[in-house]
Chain A
């Protein structure tokens, strides 16, 4: 799982630069949460292009911790990129008032999608691409909001596990405080990823790497010391969230159906 950090950085910086230039754009917008994922994405963007062309947004809700937004600002300042805070409380609350019985999970999803709305609107304003901040661990576990924080134009970190991001973040000079802090989606007070997932990222990533990257079957995984419980829970979670990693399924009628037999890359036309 260990990475060649310099090479990984070079590949990802080159990816952001070429994907942005390819479609004739010069700017990037990104939501900065104060966590490590968005910090790494933003750091890569600042290396890929003029940092004055990187627009970061802190998008707190009233229950978001003050520390998160302060950390987001610290990251933006350390990278020398643009930073603006837009409080999403009024938009979120206006909708949530329509349903007094709204659950914590639904409200969390609304916040994530409201942030997505703001970021995509800013991308239109700035004529910029939206940079993704979902890592491979959360994408595989489906631990994110569909069309919320999972939405982006390009994602430089989607093939890196959380624990690999910790390493890369250190190499990129992300402030120690950001790397060391407990990962959280910050959707409600006291929420932490590891508590919600039931296992530590270190355990999960070791298993995901063996299961997904190395294609080891259950017998081999048991032999490596993983418990039946974690193997089953994680495997099940990957299967159940496959829909989140795909475009909506289109019912086939014609001879050429989009994404089935009408197949072109995104580069088409650029």
Chain B
């Protein structure tokens, strides 16, 4: 049994030190509450609509904020969003997992939306992998927002059988319908399907706040391997939620729905070479 805090925050655009302070205080609250993992949204350290600010807010392992987060990670596993400066002048929309004072993994967003209101590929270099990594709390996968909407990333992730799948998001409220709105409807459908088909605990953490007239809707939540929504944070407001997970539910999920066992990657392979 372990405890995870989902931190649905409102970062200030481009103010990495102010946002880092917000991370530190949330981490301290999580440690006090006995949490094992804390999870922040996509670009939690920087805000979303960065445009030409991108290069000035990019950091890497040598940065003082990174060092301080590494120190905190001796007490709690931290997953957060930032702009990664790869030191060869490539800037990535990235998420880091820090544990026991070391970098466990840095995921670089692969699928950069560059349509309608999005312009990520203009500013970021593209990642090229979806790697599941081992932590004290089992195998974890990280997908950043649009990454989770592609079948290839989900399939690659599924083949590595994660116990926890973290989806870090900056989803804008758009396409308001009579009931709810397009982006929320899409994410709720995806999260449910992903958690069932990969039979994993799915943690969706989405930011809130407004940038350039764009409202980020929050609604961060946890889905069980059975597709049940086990907890959710409110829309539009900052908030934190502590969820408890254990491996039993994964075991029951995979015995009930042996999708991984019955999967046929050989067929997939046949089509991919065509």
Enumerate chain A interface residues (CB-CB to B < 8 A).
2-4, 7-8, 10-11, 14-15, 18-19, 22, 154, 262-268, 270
Contacts and interface: CB of A to CB of B under 8 A. Distances in A.
B49 A262 contact: no
A11 B215 contact: yes
A10 to B, nearest CB: 6
A262 B13 CA distance: 17
Q: How large is the interface on B (under 10, 10 to 19, 20 to 34, 35 or more residues)?
A: 20 to 34
B47 A267 contact: yes
Contacts of B12: 267, 270
B161 interface: no
Given A264-B53, A268-B53, A15 B210 contact: yes
A11 B173 contact: yes
Given A4-B178, A11-B173, 12 more contacts: A3-B176, A4-B179, A11-B215, A15-B210, A15-B215, A264-B52, A264-B53, A267-B49, A267-B211, A267-B212, A268-B13, A268-B14
B8 to A, nearest CB: 14
Contacts of B173: 7, 11
A176 B258 CA distance: 59
Contact of A265 (B49, B178, B179): B49
A265 B13 contact: yes
A14 B236 contact: yes
B215 A14 contact: yes
B180 interface: yes
A262 B52 CA distance: 7
Interface in B146-205: 173, 176-181
Interface of B: 10, 12-14, 47, 49-53, 173, 176-181, 209-213, 215, 235-236
30 contacts: A3-B178, A4-B176, A4-B179, A4-B180, A4-B181, A7-B180, A10-B236, A11-B173, A11-B176, A11-B236, A14-B215, A14-B236, A15-B210, A15-B213, A18-B209, A19-B210, A19-B213, A262-B52, A263-B51, A263-B52, A264-B53, A265-B50, A265-B53, A266-B212, A267-B14, A267-B47, A267-B49, A267-B212, A268-B53, A270-B13
Contacts, number: 62
A262 B53 CA distance: 10
B27 to A, nearest CB: 24
Nearest to B211: A267
Nearest to A159: B213
A161 B24 CA distance: 43
Contact of B212 (A7, A8, A10, A265): A265
Chain A CB count within 10 A is highest, among B12, B14, B177, B210, for B210
Contacts of B177: 2-4
A265 B181 contact: no
Contacts of A268: 13-14, 53
Contacts of A263: 51-52
B183 to A, nearest CB: 12
A10 B235 contact: yes
A154 B13 CA distance: 18
Contact of A264 (B51, B209, B210, B213): B51
Nearest to B51: A263
Contacts of A265: 13, 49-51, 53, 211-212
Contacts of B47: 267
B14 A14 contact: no
Contacts of B178: 2-4
A19 to B, nearest CB: 6
A205 B215 CA distance: 24
A23 to B, nearest CB: 12
Contacts of B49: 265, 267
10 closest A-B pairs (Cβ-Cβ)?
A2-B178, A267-B13, A263-B51, A265-B49, A18-B210, A265-B212, A263-B52, A11-B215, A14-B236, A15-B210
Contacts of B212: 265-267
A267 B19 CA distance: 15
A235 B151 CA distance: 38
Contacts of B50: 265
Contacts of B10: 18
A15 B208 CA distance: 11
A8 B176 contact: yes
Nearest to B173: A11
A263 B236 CA distance: 27
Most chain B beta-carbon neighbours within 10 Å: one of A264, A266, A267, A268: A267
A205 to B, nearest CB: 15
A80 B161 CA distance: 58
A158 B222 CA distance: 35
B176 A7 contact: yes
A3 B180 CA distance: 8
B141 to A, nearest CB: 31
